[in-house]
A = this chain, B = another copy of it.
Amino acid sequence: MKRVKKKAFSDFIARKGLKTTRQRDTILDFFLASDRHMSIEELYLKVRAKHPNIGYATVYRTLKLFAEAGLAREIQFGDGQTRYEHVNEGEHHDHLVCTHCGTIVEFENPVIEKLQDEVATSHGFLIETHKMEIYGLCPKCH
C-alpha cells in the first residue's frame, strides 16, 4: 500500500515536471504513517520532531500536492482546521465525529449513497462529490 502510494506520487511528480526532494519524501513517509485525519499543524509537528529543518510552508505545500496527486483529500470537520485524510483507490466513506473527544469513525453505507444519487438526479444535479458527517458522542464519551 505504501509502496503503491509512493509510486503514485513519484509518477505524479514526473508527469508534472516537478522535482523529487528529501523534504517531500520525508513528509510523504510521515503522512503515510500518520493517523487517517491529520491537520497541517499536527503533521508538521510530527515531522519537525525528527527533522527540525523542514518548515511549515513545505508541509503545507506538500499536503496540497498529495491532494492534487490523489493520495489525500482535504476535509473540514468544523473545528477551524483543514485536515488531510488518506485516499484509497476506488474507496469512499463518510464520518462519525465525536464532539467531545474528537474521535473520528469512518463508515460506508451504500444505501445512503444510492439515495443521495437519487436526490441529486431528481433535482437535475450532476453530482460531483458529497459530504456527510454525523456529529455526536462516541461510546467512550457517554
Interface residues of A (CB under 8 A from B): 76, 78, 96, 98-99, 105, 107, 109, 111-112, 115-116, 119-120, 123-139, 142
Taken together as a complex, chains A and B put the C-alpha atoms of A107 and B117 apart, in Å, by 13
A94 CB, min distance to chain B CBs, angstroms: 8
Copy tally for this chain in the complex stands at 2
Q: Which residues of B contact A76 (CB under 8 A)?
A: 76, 78
Whether A96 and B120, one on each chain, are in contact in the complex, defined by CB atoms closer than 8 angstroms, is yes
Taken together as a complex, chains A and B put the C-alpha atoms of A138 and B126 apart, in Å, by 7
Q: Which residues of B contact A123 (CB under 8 A)?
A: 96, 105, 107, 138-139
Nearest B residue (CB) for A137: B126
Given contacts A130-B132, A130-B134, A134-B130, contact A125 B96 (CB under 8 A): yes
